[in-house]
Copies of this chain bind each other. A is one copy, B any other.
Amino acid sequence: MGRMSARKSKSTRITLQDVARKSGFSPSTVSIVLSEAPLSRYVAAQTKERIRKTAEVLGYRPDVFARSLRSRRSNTIGVLLFDISDPFCVLILRGIEKALHGTRFMPILMDAHHERAQFEGYLDLLMERRVEGLIVVANWLFDEGGLLKASSREPMPSVVVGRDVSEQRIGSVIVDNEAGGYLAIKHLYDLGHRQIALIRGPEKLIDSTRRWNGIERFARENGWKIDPRRVRQLRDAIEPISGFEGGMQLTADLLQSRQKFTALMAFDDLTALGALRALAQAGLSAPRDCSIIGFDDVPLAALSTPGITTIRQPMEEMGAAAARRVLDALHEGRSLGSGLQMLPPELVLRDSTAKLD
């Protein structure tokens, strides 16, 4: 009776045992062959063939849970988003997915809704699911402390994309913000603009400083003077959308200040869109009355009218790079994952900037 029990599976779920019986080989051999374990190198080609065929015919699907329980490998990589509604994230995601596609790994996504508690909670969840690696997509502010803590508790290859946390022992993939700031201001300058208003990013965001450094370097190199009266700064905030509000408000403020400016460099595209709105409300339009340049090249930048000239972050590539680093670390066994990787930005010409006449 006990011997028969395996036979009476009602839901006709095919197990490895079934394949073994049908093919005439032992479960071990079947397992080795079907999971392409190293040992399968020593299995006769004919045997492999027969086993594979049988599995195919029976429609065998390995049980993920049994496999993971036994092998201690989940074949998953955790992807922790800080806020998926930020268009910045989506393309990064795509890059990650593409890089993971075809490997044995599948991404598990969690969105923290820019809430710290959720972030930690989901991190725990991912660890519980035994993800073998971790990619954090960070936009704006996020507290890397929690990540560090968790990551050290159960060390695994971790990469943060969008934030430089390389000082900690975690890998980072970011765009070269300094070069981006330089490119942006250079573009406006090359168009003939000299009276340029600047909206800096939030103080606590390291990106802000980097981009600013790029601007200052350009100013130094070209004998251009930054007029502090034409500079504003976004306030620290946790929601990306606040860039729009901020851009709108600060631009209105700039307009009221009676400091003439023929061009405006916004911290990012959302800020630029806000600036556009403020301009319109004052009866002005870009680029006729004022050129505007953004940063990021989120999808919206191309869809607004006028299209926003901007500095593109290669987001898909950044995502892919992050994924590849995790994969490499996983593959090579070394816990590599530390160190900073910077990708070059790129000027994208659209219609919001024009030559000063």
Contacts and interface: CB of A to CB of B under 8 A. Distances in A.
Interface string A134-178: 000000000000000000000000000000000000000000000
B90 A303 contact: no
A1 B194 CA distance: 82
Nearest to A107: B109
Interface string A61-92: 10111101100001000000000110100110
B94 A90 contact: no
Chain B CB within 10 Å, residue with most, of A87, A125, A305, A307 = A305
Interface residues of A, number: 38
Contacts of A305: 273, 276-277, 280, 304-305
Contacts of A64: 128-130
B97 A303 contact: no
A244 interface: yes
Contact of A303 (B61, B108, B125, B244): B244
A111 interface: yes
A69 B276 CA distance: 56
A265 interface: no
Contacts of A66: 65, 69
Contact of A106 (B63, B65, B125, B276): B125
26 contacts: A64-B128, A64-B129, A65-B65, A65-B66, A65-B69, A65-B74, A84-B93, A84-B94, A85-B90, A85-B94, A87-B299, A90-B90, A93-B111, A97-B111, A108-B108, A244-B303, A270-B303, A276-B305, A277-B305, A280-B305, A300-B300, A300-B303, A300-B304, A303-B304, A304-B304, A304-B305
Interface of A: 61, 63-66, 68-69, 74, 84-85, 87, 90-91, 93-94, 97, 106, 108-109, 111, 113, 125, 128-130, 244, 270, 273, 276-277, 280, 299-300, 303-307
Given A109-B109, A277-B307, 11 more contacts: A61-B128, A65-B68, A65-B130, A66-B69, A84-B94, A85-B90, A87-B299, A97-B111, A97-B113, A273-B304, A305-B305
